[in-house]
Every structure is written in structure tokens, then in C-alpha cells.
């Protein structure tokens, strides 16, 4: 029987400030536990709240990501709300840090939000979590002019931003009056004494936030080992290896899908001819879960580039889901890991019909792409600062969305062509940690000469033949960078005439680059006939390390000169891949 009252409610529960929560300390176990708290807030807690509201048995296998996706897609376990009068709530999506839930009554909406937020207050102090809901008419359609569920999703996200902006920060819960001992790890007020090592006698003042994170680390281990048994198989051993001379460099990698915001904002345009609310939910869920699967599948393939020192893979996945990836890993493998991940992400999305159909409608290409920022730092460098740098680097990498466009793009309507890119930086010292200041130091002659060519395109260049901006993409091709790095690392030359460039001569060119373009080209000319340097030449006559291009600045077009020689030098020690070039024992 059709439901007489067509008023429904859409609930959004989402965490904020995730990176600050996760990277507040350099303790690996706490980073892992904080990531797990964020994951459970959008999955297990939301699922538990819905199970209580529906008076059904809680789904037990939520910890297995694959089975969780199956549960959300199964009508028997997550029944459609409009076809089941016994249920009060239906989960649209449940992912790390975010859940969208459809409910029948305002009371149910409040009950679910109350349950999840109260759980966060009690079980996860320090987590910034908020829930909101909006009302809409289930029978609304685009034809009758009433707000549909697509409008409700946009509205609930706007409401979330408004409500969140008025909420006090979770840090206001941790006051210092009366005076309390300080947690040795987080700097928050301590509430207990705990052992941070295997020595039970070594008790340290610990805050509730740190204590909770460490407790959740065990649950994170169980979940991630469902993805791959080599992930966090022994957290203590992994912590020791990350803090040893075997791993002098660590990397924070942050990857994010391109154009997903545009897709979700206009999702009703890409679901086909049937514009009903039920079909929208079906397509929205299928797309979201397929995206989650593709990210996870690409990640599983990418971790094969690492050399496993013990039973652990030297990587800590902190966010793997949706279109997001954030990991801390062995720095020397970070570039290759990220390259493989982005390339596999493109392949996986192309093979997933739910994604390929939407991408074809949105971009004219049946796949998605992603960009990544990689900050490589010494092992004791603060993770929070390294992540901030990685976040700025990903914004730089996403410049590709303005450079490589679909064939029908014009000045008024610019649609990015699916193209994956990487930007990276190796932080050798802490004198400059802001990307703007770092890049400013790599400019010469009033910034018309640039000593960096980043970001780099990792997409297959054959897939970009129809795109606008393919000439720019060719100048930033990852394969060209890799060939130059291989030449720098080559001990014996394949050419009988000229050996590869020596480290001393590389250093001489590097020094000349920081003086100016003419000095660098002069140094290059001195040794060009003695060493195999043809691959480093950027000009058509092979006489310069710089290529010439133009850019728009202050409403005028100016000529600039760019070299990628320094990029190759920087990447020289950070392109290890155990599948193709095993490191020396």
C-alpha cells in the first residue's frame, strides 16, 4: 500500500577536521586509531543507529569493506524505505566519516543523529562530528517543480556547513582549570597513566584522546587486514621500522579524485531518462560504492611496489575510501606507489560500469582520474606539517584541470578532461615549509625562469589525443621524468661513446641553475659532448636545459623558461619499485 504521507527526511552525519584529528601526533599507533575512529563514525555507528531505529539485527560483517558494500546494496539487509512500511530508515551511503540516511519521520532523524553524536562524545573525545537533517517531498519530481532528493542532498550539505560553523571546537572540552598534568604525547590534559611501550612499568601521563586512539588501533588492524594481510600485521614492529635507520625518509601521500564535486552536484543529469527519487538513490549508491571499490582495488595493486622488511608492508593507510587516499609510507617508494595507484584508479573506474556511464555523461570519457600531492620528509618531521604540504601539493597537481580540457570546452564552459597528475616535494630542511615560498625560491630572473616542471601527468598519453592542452601534457609527462631519473641512476652506459652524467657534474649543473639560465646552459654546453645528456635537453636544437612557453600574468602574455633537470635530481632516490627495479640488498 502506498504511503499517504509523502514527507521524508534526509539525514547527513559527517566528521570535520579529520586530518588534524589524525595527524595531531607523530605516534603511528594513534594515527591509525584516529583513522579508525573516523571510519567507524560514518559506517558502524551509523549502521548501528539505523538498526536500532528499524529494530533489526545489527549487521555483523561491517568491518569487512567488501561485505559492507554488499550489505548496503542488498534489499534484504538495507530495504528501500518507500517499499517497506516496517522500516523507518534506509542507508543511502555509509563511508569513512560520512553517512547519508533516508528516514520517514523527524523523530527518527533526531534519534539517529543523537545516537551517533552521543557515541562520539563518549567513545571518541576530540572527534569533530555533526549531524543535520532536512525535509522533502518523496513524490516530488523535476516536472512538478517541487524539490527532489537531489535538491535535498544539496540543501542538507549547505545546512551542515552552516551548523558546523556555529559549533565550538572539540578542543574546548579540554580545559586546564584546575591545573592538570599534561599528556606527554598530545599535550592535552592527562586523565590516566598508560604504558606507551611494551614495558608495563613505564607509565606515562596520557590524555583521554590519545588513550582512545590507541585502543581503536587494534580494530583498524583487523579491518585493514581484510583488504590485504600485509597491512598492519604487527603494529609494534611497524612502528619500530618507521623509527629506524632503515627508513630515513617518510612520505605523506594525499590523493583525491578529479571532478567528483561537479558530478555529485549535478548528479541528476547523469542518471539517465528516469529521474525518479528511487532511481536517483539507486544510481547515487551504486556510483558511491563503486568509487569506494575502485580506490581500494587500486590501492591493493599499488602496495606491491613496496619491499616488505618483515611481515608488514611499510605503509600506513589512514584513509582509503570514496575518491580519497591518505597514507604514510616509506619515502623512497612513495613516487612509484602513487604513480601506480593513480594509473590503476583510472583503469578500475573504466571497468566499473556504474562509474563509466556517469563519467561518459559528465566528461565524454568513460573513466575518472585523480591527482596526488606527496611530501617526503625525514622520519621525525611532524606529520601534521607534512600533510599540510601534501594538501597544497595536490592543489598544485589539480592545476591539470585548467590545462587539459575536453574537446568541446571554450572560454565560457571549461570542462576538465580526465587526467591524473602528481606534484611532489622532498623537504631537505625546515627553513621553508610553505609551498609558495618553496616555489618562489625556484624562480629566477623575476620569475620568468622556473627551475621546476611539476606537476607531472601519469595518465596514458594515448588517451589524451582528443583533449585540449595535450601539448602542455606532453611537456609534463611522467615517463620523460622517469627516463631522466633512470639515466642519472645508470652506472654503465648503453652508449659506447658517452657515459651517463656523473654526480659531480650533476651537482655542477644544479649550482649553475640557481645562478641563472645562461650559466646553466653554459655549464651544460661544457660537458654535453662528454656525457650522455641528450635526454635532458629541452630545446629543439638540444642546446638548452630549458623549454620556452608562455603564460598569462597581469592581463598580459609573457614568455617563461622551464627546466625539469632539478625535478629529476630530486626524484633520483625516490623512485624505487620492487616489482621492476628491486633495491640492492
How much is the pLDDT for 585?
37
As assigned by CATH, the class of the 213-434 domain is alpha beta
The pLDDT assigned to 490 comes to 75
Which residues make Cβ contacts (< 8 Å) with residue 75, sequence separation at least 6?
A: none
Closest alpha carbon to 260 in 158, 345, 148, 327? 345
Same fold yes or no, 7-173 and 213-434: yes
> Kind and range of the H or E element at 449?
strand 449-450
Measured CA to CA, the distance from residue 394 to residue 339 in angstroms comes to 14
443-444 and 547-553 beta bridge pairing: unpaired
User: Per-residue pLDDT tens for 256-309?
Assistant: 999 998 899 999 999 988 888 999 999 999 999 999 999 999 999 999 999 876
> Quick one: 7-173 is in which CATH superfamily?
Reverse transcriptase/Diguanylate cyclase domain (3.30.70.270)
How remote is the C-alpha of 165 from its chain's centroid? 24
- Using 50 as the pLDDT threshold, list the residues of the chain that sit under it: 1-4, 493, 583-585
Q: What is the pLDDT of residue 2?
A: 44
Largest CA-CA distance found in the chain, in angstroms, rounded: 87
342 and 367 in contact (C-beta within 8 Å)?
no
pLDDT of 143 reads 59
> pTM here?
0.93
List strand residue ranges (DSSP E) for 233-369, in order. 249-257, 315-321, 324-330
- Taking the chain, what is the end-to-end CA distance rounded to the nearest angstrom? 71
Q: Where along the chain do its domains lie?
A: 7-173, 213-434
> What pLDDT score was predicted for residue 502?
83
Amino acid at each position: 500500500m502506498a504511503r499517504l504521507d509523502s514527507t521524508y527526511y534526509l539525514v547527513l552525519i559527517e566528521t570535520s577536521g579529520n586530518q588534524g584529528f589524525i595527524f595531531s601526533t607523530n605516534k603511528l599507533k594513534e594515527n591509525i586509531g584516529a583513522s579508525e575512529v573516523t571510519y567507524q563514525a560514518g559506517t558502524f555507528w551509523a549502521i548501528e543507529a539505523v538498526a536500532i531505529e528499524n529494530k533489526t539485527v545489527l549487521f555483523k560483517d561491517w568491518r569487512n569493506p567488501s561485505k559492507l558494500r554488499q550489505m548496503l546494496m542488498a534489499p534484504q539487509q538495507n530495504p528501500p524505505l518507500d517499499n517497506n512500511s516496517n522500516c523507518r530508515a534506509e542507508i543511502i551511503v555509509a563511508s569513512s566519516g560520512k553517512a547519508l540516511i533516508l528516514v520517514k519521520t523527524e523523530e527518527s532523524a533526531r534519534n539517529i543523529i543523537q545516537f551517533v553524536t552521543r557515541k562520539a562524545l563518549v567513545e571518541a573525545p576530540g572527534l569533530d562530528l555533526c549531524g543535520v537533517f532536512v525535509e522533502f517531498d518523496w513524490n516530488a519530481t523535476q516536472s512538478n517543480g517541487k524539490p527532489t532528493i537531489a535538491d535535498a542532498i544539496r540543501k542538507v550539505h549547505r545546512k551542515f556547513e552552516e551548523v558546523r560553523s556555529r559549533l565550538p571546537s572539540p578542543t574546548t572540552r579540554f580545559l586546564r582549570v584546575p591545573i592538570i598534568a599534561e599528556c606527554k604525547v598530545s599535550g592535552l590534559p592527562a586523565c590516566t597513566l598508560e604504558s606507551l611501550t611494551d614495558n608495563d612499568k613505564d607509565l606515562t601521563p596520557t590524555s583521554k584522546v590519545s588513550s582512545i586512539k590507541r585502543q581503536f588501533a587494534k580494530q583498524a588492524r583487523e579491518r585493514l587486514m581484510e583488504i590485504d594481510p600485509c597491512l598492519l600485521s604487527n603494529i609494534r614492529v611497524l612502528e619500530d621500522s618507521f623509527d629506524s635507520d632503515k627508513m630515513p625518509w617518510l612520505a605523506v601521500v594525499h590523493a583525491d579524485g578529479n571532478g567528483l564535486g561537479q558530478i555529485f552536484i549535478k548528479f541528476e543529469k547523469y542518471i539517465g531518462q528516469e529521474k525518479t527519487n528511487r532511481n536517483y538513490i539507486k544510481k547515487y549508491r551504486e556510483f558511491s560504492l563503486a568509487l569506494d571499490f575502485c580506490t581500494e582495488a587500486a590501492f591493493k595493486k599499488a602496495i606491491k611496489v613496496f619491499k616488505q622488511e618483515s611481515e608488514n608492508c611499510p605503509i600506513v593507510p589512514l584513509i582509503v575510501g570514496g575518491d580519497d587516499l591518505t597514507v604514510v609510507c616509506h619515502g623512497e617508494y612513495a613516487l612509484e606507489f602513487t604513480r601506480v595507484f593513480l594509473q590503476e584508479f583510472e583503469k578500475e573506474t573504466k571497468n566499473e560500469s556504474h562509474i563509466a556511464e556517469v563519467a561518459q555523461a559528465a566528461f565524454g570519457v568513460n573513466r575518472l582520474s585523480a591527482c596526488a600531492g606527496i611530501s617526503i620528509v625525514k622520519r621525525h618531521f611532524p606529520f601534521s606539517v607534512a600533510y599540510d604540504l601534501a594538501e597544497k601539493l595536490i592543489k598544485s597537481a589539480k592545476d591539470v584541470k585548467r590545462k587539459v580540457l575536453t574537446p568541446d570546452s571554450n572560454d565560457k564552459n571549461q570542462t576538465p578532461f580526465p587526467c591524473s597528475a602528481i606534484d611532489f616535494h622532498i623537504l631537505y630542511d625546515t627553513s621553508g615549509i610553505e609551498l609558495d615560498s618553496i616555489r618562489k625560491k625556484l624562480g629566477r630572473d623575476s620569475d620568468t625562469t622556473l627551475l621546476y616542471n611539476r606537476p607531472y601527468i601519469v595518465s596514458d598519453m594515448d588517451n589524451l589525443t582528443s583533449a585540449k592542452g595535450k601539448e602542455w601534457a606532453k611537456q609534463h609527462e611522467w615517463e620523460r621524468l622517469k627516463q631522466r631519473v633512470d639515466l642519472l641512476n645508470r652506472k654503465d652506459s648503453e652508449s659506447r661513446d658517452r657515459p651517463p652524467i656523473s654526480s659531480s657534474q650533476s651537482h655542477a649543473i644544479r649550482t649553475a641553475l640557481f645562478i641563472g639560465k645562461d650559466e646553466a646552459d653554459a655549464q651544460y654546453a661544457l660537458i654535453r659532448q662528454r656525457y650522455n645528456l641528450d635526454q635532458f635537453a629541452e630545446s629543439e636544437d638540444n642546446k638548452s636545459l630549458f623549454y620556452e612557453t608562455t603564460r598569462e600574468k597581469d592581463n598580459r602574455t609573457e614568455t617563461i623558461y622551464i627546466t625539469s633537470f632539478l625535478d629529476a635530481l630530486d626524484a633520483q632516490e625516490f623512485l624505487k619499485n620492487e616489482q621492476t627495479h628491486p633495491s640492492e640488498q
